Copies of this chain bind each other. A is one copy, B any other.
Amino acid sequence: MSENASDSPDLAPSDTASDDRTADAQADGFARVRAAHENEMAEDYVELIAELIEATGEARPVDMAERLGVKPPTVTKNLSRLTRDGLVKRERYRSIFLTEEGENLARACRERHRTVVSFLMALGIEEEVAQRDAEGIEHHVSGDTLRAFEVFLQKNS
């Protein structure tokens, strides 16, 4: 059934150039992207909750909805998922808090977000654009790449 890992049976390696990765390596890349997408909602939400608490003293669904650009029922539903997953704790009709785990995730995400934005700006990109692009890019930056961004930032003041 599942063949040997080394494919390309009788074809010279790097025949037509382009993408000479093995099918497995490519599949792994796509799998990681799908995994990243599964964490994306959680990361953006805890990040936003932490920001709102810091900025205004509390995190309310209505404010989250406004900043996320979605309707309040969407926030309610997603908050239930985050509560189920142990990142958020709350009581009905009351404002939102992060669990210890949620706070840790929020801290890491905010740091990473800032790094990505700073990196893009160091590259000469305008802040508005940097913020927009970072919102998506941040979830796909591996530890290695994040470190490379930091190194670049140190070298470029």
Contacts and interface: CB of A to CB of B under 8 A. Distances in A.
Contacts of A135: 29-30, 32-33, 140
A50 to B, nearest CB: 9
A44 B16 contact: no
Contact of A66 (B18, B23, B36): B23
A16 B55 CA distance: 6
Contacts of A148: 120, 123-125
B131 A69 contact: no
Contacts of A25: 128, 131
B136 A32 contact: yes
A100 interface: no
A85 interface: no
Interface residues of A, number: 51
Contact of A151 (B16, B124, B130, B141): B124
Nearest to A113: B19
Contacts of A44: 30
A132 interface: yes
A94 to B, nearest CB: 22
A142 B136 CA distance: 10
Interface in A101-157: 120, 123-126, 128-133, 135-137, 139-142, 144-145, 148-149, 151-152
Interface of A: 15-16, 18-19, 21, 23, 25-33, 36-37, 44, 51, 54-55, 63, 66-70, 120, 123-126, 128-133, 135-137, 139-142, 144-145, 148-149, 151-152
